[in-house]
Amino acid sequence: MIHSAERRDKKYRRKMSDTEHIAKQLELAKTDMATLYEQSQVYATEMEGRTRAILGRNGVPTIAYPGYLNFARQVAKISGRFQGDSFTNEAKILIDKWTARQLVKEILETILYEVFASKQEA
């Protein structure tokens, strides 16, 4: 169903006229927002820690860490949107991208399979 611009504008103005309701909704959402943010930071810290452990095990110079960590962050980002074969295909694209930037393919694959293994199996 296609809505006219006038109808959309009217609905928006009606919604925005009740600022007290908006403030109540935001206040209710703040706790959930803070919890989600906290969970995402815990996940990011754990993911980066596992990635750093892999890099240390493989003797990667610390100057190369940012590239590998950025790869892991990008994989983490797509892991929230894709699972199974779609995730695997997207991850392979990222491996190709970071291999073209002179990172070692075997280490990227190790990061993918050890840090994000559960996303590939889903």
Q: Which two tokens stand for residue 70?
A: 């950025």
Question: Global pTM?
Answer: 0.75
Q: Which residue has the tokens 């199974």?
A: 84
Lowest mean pLDDT among 17-21, 38-42, 71-75, 80-84: 17-21
Domain that holds residue 70: 5-121
- What is the number of domains present in the chain? 1
Q: Which two tokens stand for residue 84?
A: 């199974």
The stretch 25-43 carries a mean pLDDT of 89
Q: What angle do CA 104, 101, 117 make, to 5 degrees?
A: 50
Can you give the pLDDT at residue 106?
A: 97
Can you give the pLDDT at residue 92?
A: 95
Please report the beta strands in the chain, taking only residues with DSSP state E, as ranges in sequence order: none
